[in-house]
């Protein structure tokens, strides 16, 4: 079974020597933990970017809604009667209003945009005063 030069005692020593197996196991565990760490780091980065974009999207929506409410208030003659163009943080507001006068249906479109980031929200309001 074993070659003539190798005694059974020497063969048993070679088979029972498991120091190399420990090194291979340690390298395997280190590689798996490193991959897990990279996965967690990527997940955290993606989640933080997504949450910041969601925050800006909702801020754009609320900015557009506020501008629409101010425009309707102005058309209704409420407040001071002066049209106020809101400036909300880094958002630019553009509006398209076809208000013909009291008693007629009107459509108001407001868009809040952050230049450079590609984030914008548009609100369309149909109303009769």
Q: Where are the beta strands (DSSP E) in the chain?
A: 92-97, 105-114, 119-128
Percent of the chain with pLDDT over 70: 82
Q: Environment class of residue 2 by beta-carbon count within 10 Å: exposed (0-12), middle (13-18) or buried (19+)?
A: exposed
> Where in the chain are the domains?
8-128
- Residues 88-95, mean pLDDT to the nearest whole number: 82
- Residues 60-83, mean pLDDT to the nearest whole number: 81
Whether residue 87 has pLDDT greater than 50: yes
Q: Model's pTM, two decimal places? A: 0.62
What would the pLDDT profile of 2-42 be if each residue is shown by its tens digit? 455 666 677 667 666 666 777 888 899 999 999 999 999 99
Work out the mean pLDDT of the chain and round it to a whole number.
83
pLDDT at residue 2, rounded to an integer? 46
pLDDT at residue 6, rounded to an integer? 65
User: Residue 5 is encoded by which pair of tokens?
Assistant: 């030069």
pLDDT at residue 56, rounded to an integer? 87
Rg (CA), the chain: 35
- Residues 87-105, mean pLDDT to the nearest whole number: 84
Do residues 60 and 66 lie in contact, with contact meaning Cβ atoms separated by under 8 Å? no
pLDDT at residue 11, rounded to an integer? 65
User: Residue 80 is encoded by which pair of tokens?
Assistant: 């001071």
Q: How far is CA 65 from the centre of its chain?
A: 22
Which residue in this structure is represented by tokens 């945009």? Answer: 113
């Amino acid at each position: 079974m074993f070659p003539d030069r190798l005694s059974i005692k020497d063969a048993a020593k070679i088979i029972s020597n498991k120091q190399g197996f420990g090194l291979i196991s340690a390298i395997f565990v280190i590689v798996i933990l490193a991959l897990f760490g990279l996965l967690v780091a990527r997940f955290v980065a993606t989640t933080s970017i997504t949450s910041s974009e969601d925050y800006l999207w909702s801020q754009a929506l609320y900015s557009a809604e506020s501008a629409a409410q101010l425009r309707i208030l102005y058309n209704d003659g409420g407040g001071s009667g002066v049209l106020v163009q809101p400036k909300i943080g880094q958002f630019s507001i553009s509006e398209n209003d076809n208000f013909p006068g009291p008693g007629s249906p009107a459509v108001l479109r407001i868009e809040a945009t952050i230049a450079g980031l590609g984030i914008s929200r548009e609100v369309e309001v149909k109303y009769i005063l």
